[in-house]
Each structure stands twice: as structure tokens, then as C-alpha cells.
């Protein structure tokens, strides 16, 4: 665990970068402006029914992408599809709603099989969906994984690996995974990835979420190394403190406290989505891979904590946990 001084400095760094972000205005993305360049391109966004995922889906649909909206709640997803059509005038054929439950690896495999068959070429994968529980007790997925590690990391780890051939077929293509500044205060122990040795988290109940977000970034870096020369590049994004549905499982007091912080130093979902879109679309990032970004630039504090050996070990453990052959 980092010291209280380190945490204080991380907070100051965030506030400083957030202030600079306010001064500079909207993030400018240097992207292709010819609409014909995106015709037929397919993008997949997990957790597209709300918050960051919804804003990313809206932006991509407005640019002419065929967008696969991967959602756990299809009822909510249908209303989002209608909203996107109204806001962007996107063709209904360009908005594909599919069910995906990242807490169930069987659902991930079924979903990936459908997408892989129906869309041989996948230009962009945005791993955005996530959970964040405010609980002192360990919670698990259907497969028995600690819920944050299971959904936020392993679900996306499996999904990404199952769709790699589709991404390679569409090269140049990109994989953008949403992480969090909370990775800076993670306490990831590879010999207890599922936190089975912890009986009660107490005041450290953010540790499960923090660990899953560090795992996201380690995965992105390791995947980037493995895909060098394939035409597929990877990016991790810390969107900042954003008003999204990820806090839906918080206690009333924690929710009030979080909303107050968002009001003071946070961002809207649209603002938070800007760096995701920057990594997904900016031409100047085509030669970069495996890096972490926040507020439209490299997140250097987080990048310094990326241990290559830990990333490789996490990869091997993750392969075993999701039932994939070691590569």
C-alpha cells in the first residue's frame, strides 16, 4: 500500500491536471475527417448502455461507425439505441445491441462467438464496462471470482483474447481499456488475486476495485508487447472522476460523498469519454501501444508503476483462470 504522503501527492497531481484540463477546453482529436474512411468499420463498446460507454457509442455512431453495444441490461440498451439514433441520425443497421454479462464467462464466450462469426473484421474494441461495490465483504461472480477482478479484468481479458483474430483482420485496429487513477493505490498480490485471504476489508474496501484497475493497465501493457507487428495497438485510459453509473452499488453516505467530489472536481460522462476517443481515433497515437493516458496525455505516475514481470505473470494466471491455452 502507498503511504499517506503518496496518496496526498496523487490527489494534488489530479487536481493540477484537472485544472489544466479546464483551461484548455475540449480535447482536440487529430483524426481522419473523410467520412468514407469509416464506412464498414466496426467498433465494439462494452457497457454501452450508460455513462462513458454510452458517450463513446454516441460519438462513434455520429462518425459513421457500425457500433456493437455490449450490454448486460438489454431493456436499458434498447432505449439507448433509440437515443443514439435520435441524437446522431445513425442508421438502425449501424447500431447492434447484444447481451453481454462479464460476470459470467459462459456469456462472454457466447457473445464473442457471435461477434466473431458475424463481424470478421473488428476495427475498435473499447473495454469500458465495470463494477464498483462499496462493501466490507468479498463478493464473487458466477464463476467464483472476486467480483471486481472477475468483471473488470478477467471478463475483458477473455473477451479481448477471443476477438484478437477479428482485430488483426481489420488492422490497423485498436483496443482501448478503461482503467482508473485508483490503480495508484492498489495492493495487487498475485498469490491472492481473488483476495481469499481477506476476511473483512474495513476502511480499505476500495482495494478490490483498485486491484482490478491496475490489472487492466498491466494487461494492456503486456498485450501491447505481444501484438507488436500485428497492426493492433493497445491503450489504457483513466477518464478522471466521472459521474457514471459505476457508483450505483455504493451506500447512501458513500454515494453522497462521491457525488460531492464529482461536483467539485469531477467531469461529465461526455468529458470523461474524450480521452477514450482520443486513444481510439487520434492518428498520432498509431505508433504507440501499451501506454496509459489521462486528460489527453500520458499518465506518467501510473506508467512508472507498471512492472513488466508482474504483467507477464498476471497474463499467465489470467489465461489459466479463464480456461485459455498458454500463449
Q: Which cell numbers in the block locate residue 142?
A: 458466477
Q: How many CA atoms lie within 13 A of 311 on its CB side?
A: 19
Secondary structure (DSSP) of 225-237: HHTTTTTEEEEEE
Quote the cell numbers at residue 315.
497474463
List the beta bridge partners of residue 142: none
- The answer to whether the CB of 187 falls within 8 A of the CB of 162 is no
Number of neighbours of residue 155 by Cβ within 10 angstroms: 28
Catalytic residue among 65, 209, 278, 293: 209
Neighbours of 134 (CB within 10 A): 16
* Nearest residue to 242 via CA among 128, 85, 76, 126: 128
65 is catalytic: no
Task: Please count the other Cβ atoms lying within 10 Å of the Cβ belonging to residue 258.
Answer: 18
Report the greatest alpha carbon distance in the chain: 56
User: Which residues are annotated as catalytic?
Assistant: 209
Amino acid at each position: 500500500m502507498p503511504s499517506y504522503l503518496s496518496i496526498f501527492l496523487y490527489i494534488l497531481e489530479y487536481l493540477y491536471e484537472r485544472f489544466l484540463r479546464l483551461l484548455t477546453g475540449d480535447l482536440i482529436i487529430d483524426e481522419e475527417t473523410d467520412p468514407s474512411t469509416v464506412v464498414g468499420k466496426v467498433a465494439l463498446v462494452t457497457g454501452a448502455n450508460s455513462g462513458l460507454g454510452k458517450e463513446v457509442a454516441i460519438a462513434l455512431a455520429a462518425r459513421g461507425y457500425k457500433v456493437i453495444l455490449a450490454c448486460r441490461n438489454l431493456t436499458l440498451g434498447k432505449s439507448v439505441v433509440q437515443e443514439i439514433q435520435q441524437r446522431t441520425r445513425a442508421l438502425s443497421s449501424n447500431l447492434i445491441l447484444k447481451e453481454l454479462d462479464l460476470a459470467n464467462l459462459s456469456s462472454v464466450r457466447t457473445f464473442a462467438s457471435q461477434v466473431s462469426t458475424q463481424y470478421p473484421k473488428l476495427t475498435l474494441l473499447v473495454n469500458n464496462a465495470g463494477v464498483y461495490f462499496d462493501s466490507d465483504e468479498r463478493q464473487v461472480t458466477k464463476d467464483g471470482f472476486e467480483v471486481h477482478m472477475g468483471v473488470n479484468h478477467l471478463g475483458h481479458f477473455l473477451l479481448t483474447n477471443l476477438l484478437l483474430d477479428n482485430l488483426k483482420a481489420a488492422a490497423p485496429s485498436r483496443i482501448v481499456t478503461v482503467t482508473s487513477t485508483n490503480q495508484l493505490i492498489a495492493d495487487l498480490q498475485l498469490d491472492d488475486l481473488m483476495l481469499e485471504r481477506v476476511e473483512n476489508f474495513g476502511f480499505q474496501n476500495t482495494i478490490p476495485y483498485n486491484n482490478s484497475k491496475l490489472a487492466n493497465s498491466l494487461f494492456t501493457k503486456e498485450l501491447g508487447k505481444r501484438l507488436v507487428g500485428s497492426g493492433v495497438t493497445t491503450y489504457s485510459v483513466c477518464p478522471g472522476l466521472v459521474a457514471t453509473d459505476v457508483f450505483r452499488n455504493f451506500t447512501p453516505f458513500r454515494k453522497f460523498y462521491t457525488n460531492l467530489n464529482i461536483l467539485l472536481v469531477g467531469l461529465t460522462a461526455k468529458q470523461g469519454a474524450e480521452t477514450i476517443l482520443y486513444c481510439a481515433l487520434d492518428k498520432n497515437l498509431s505508433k504507440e501501444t501499451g501506454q496509459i493516458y489521462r486528460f489527453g496525455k500520458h499518465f506518467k505516475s501510473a506508467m512508472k508503476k507498471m512492472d513488466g514481470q508482474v504483467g507477464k505473470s498476471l497474463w499467465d494466471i489470467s489465461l489459466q483462470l479463464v480456461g485459455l491455452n498458454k500463449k
